[in-house]
């Protein structure tokens, strides 16, 4: 499946030409200099259409007790895929971004969570991918969150997909 990826941008629409590692590094330095304790959550969501799937990946920067902001990127898959494959594609996109920025977060002592837009209730179709997603994320050494605690994917990415 071919994926067409857009540049990273913020919620105001500003696009960034530099790598996400630089964007996140600059944001961490700015927030820590302002005295904020921060945590970063990465998540992805998707929307299936007749002939393709659209994805969004977000990096949410949470300021402890002071709100937050996010960076986002959209992707377009060129073919429709099964629900399980789609959920695992979302997780893969999130893990790739988390892996890309984890060294910077470690350097600045910033916590990281990877959120999966997968329901923990077995009566939902997305639950088919829960064990695989959890194993992959935890196996990569990241903190795993699923619905209803996975706001980066189920709320933030959901708004921009």
Among 72, 68, 75, smallest CA distance to 59 is for 72
pLDDT digits (tens, 9 = 90+) for 28-84: 999 999 999 999 999 999 999 988 999 999 999 999 999 999 999 999 987 878 999
State percent of the chain over pLDDT 70: 97
pLDDT digits (tens, 9 = 90+) for 4-36: 668 999 999 999 999 999 999 999 999 999 999
Instruction: Compute the average pLDDT of residues 75-101.
Output: 93
Does the predicted TM-score (pTM) go above 0.85? yes
pLDDT of amino acid 4: 61
pLDDT band at 146 (very low <50, low <70, confident <90, very high): very high
pLDDT of amino acid 79: 81
Q: How many CB atoms lie within 10 A of CB 121?
A: 10
pLDDT over threshold 70, residue 3: no
pLDDT of amino acid 78: 78
Instruction: Compute the average pLDDT of residues 81-105.
Output: 96
CA distance 67 to 38: 10
CA distance 77 to 113: 25
pLDDT of amino acid 53: 93
Report the interhelical angle of 83-107 vs 130-139 (nearest 10°). 20
pLDDT of amino acid 51: 87
pLDDT of amino acid 5: 66
């Amino acid at each position: 499946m071919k994926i067409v990826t857009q540049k990273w941008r913020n919620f105001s629409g500003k696009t960034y030409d530099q790598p996400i590692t630089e964007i996140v590094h600059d944001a961490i330095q700015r927030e820590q200099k302002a005295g904020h304790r921060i945590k970063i959550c990465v998540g992805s969501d998707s929307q299936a259409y007749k002939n393709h799937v659209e994805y969004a990946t977000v990096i949410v920067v949470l300021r402890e007790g002071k709100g937050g902001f996010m960076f986002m990127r959209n992707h377009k898959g060129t073919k429709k895929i099964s629900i399980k494959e789609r959920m695992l594609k979302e997780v893969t996109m999130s893990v790739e971004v988390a892996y890309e920025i984890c060294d910077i977060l470690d350097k600045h002592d910033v916590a990281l969570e990877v959120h999966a837009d997968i329901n923990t209730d077995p009566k939902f179709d997305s639950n088919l991918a829960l064990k695989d997603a959890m194993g992959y994320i935890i196996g990569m050494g990241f903190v795993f969150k699923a619905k209803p605690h996975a706001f980066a994917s189920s709320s933030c990415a959901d708004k921009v997909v």
